[in-house]
Amino acid sequence: MDQAPQEERLRCPSCLQPMAARVYPKVYNGEETLDVCWSCQGIWFDARESVQLAPAGVVQLFKEIHENTEASRPLGDKLKCTRCAETLVYRQDLTKGGRISYYFCPGEHGRFTPFTQFMIEKGFIRSLNKVEIAALAAKIETIRCSGCGAPVDLRHDTACPFCKAPIAVLDAGAVEKALAGYGAANNAQAQALRNHDTIGEIIKYRTAADEDEDRKGFFAGAGGGGNSGPPEMEDLIAASLSTLFRLLK
Pick 20 or 193: Cβ nearer Zn ion: 20
Half-sphere exposure of 68 (CA within 13 A, CB side): 16
237 near Zn ion, rule: CB under 5 A:
no
Pick 89 or 138: Cβ nearer Zn ion: 89
Q: Which of 78, 77, 167 is nearest to 116 (CA)?
A: 167
In the beta sheet, which residues pair with residue 39?
Answer: none
> What is the residue type of 245?
F
Map residues 92-131 to x or -, x wherever contact with Zn ion holds by CB under 5 A. -------------x-x-x----------------------
Count of H-run helices and E-run strands, the chain? 8, 11
| Smallest separation, CB 106 to Zn ion (Å) | 7
| Smallest separation, CB 238 to Zn ion (Å) | 14
| Smallest separation, CB 45 to Zn ion (Å) | 12
- Interface region with Zn ion, contact rule CB under 5 A, candidates 34-42, 55-63, 182-190, 219-227: 34-42
CB 182 within 8 A of CB 223: no
Burial 55-83 (b: 16+ CB within 10 A, else e): bbbbbbbbebbbebbeebeebeeebbbbb
Whole-angstrom distance, CA of residue 150 vs CA of residue 133: 17
| Smallest separation, CB 117 to Zn ion (Å) | 11
Of the candidates 34, 36, 37, 128, which one interacts with Zn ion according to CB under 5 A?
Answer: 37
- Interface region with Zn ion, contact rule CB under 5 A, candidates 8-16, 131-139, 219-227, 239-247: 8-16
Map residues 138-177 to x or -, x wherever contact with Zn ion holds by CB under 5 A. -------x-xx-x---------x-xx-x------------
Q: Which of 207, 198, 211 is nearest to 238 (CA)?
A: 198
Whole-angstrom distance, CA of residue 40 vs CA of residue 10: 14
Which residues would be at the binding site for Zn ion (CB under 5 A)?
Answer: 12, 14-15, 37, 39-40, 81, 83-84, 86, 105, 107, 109, 145, 147-148, 150, 160, 162-163, 165
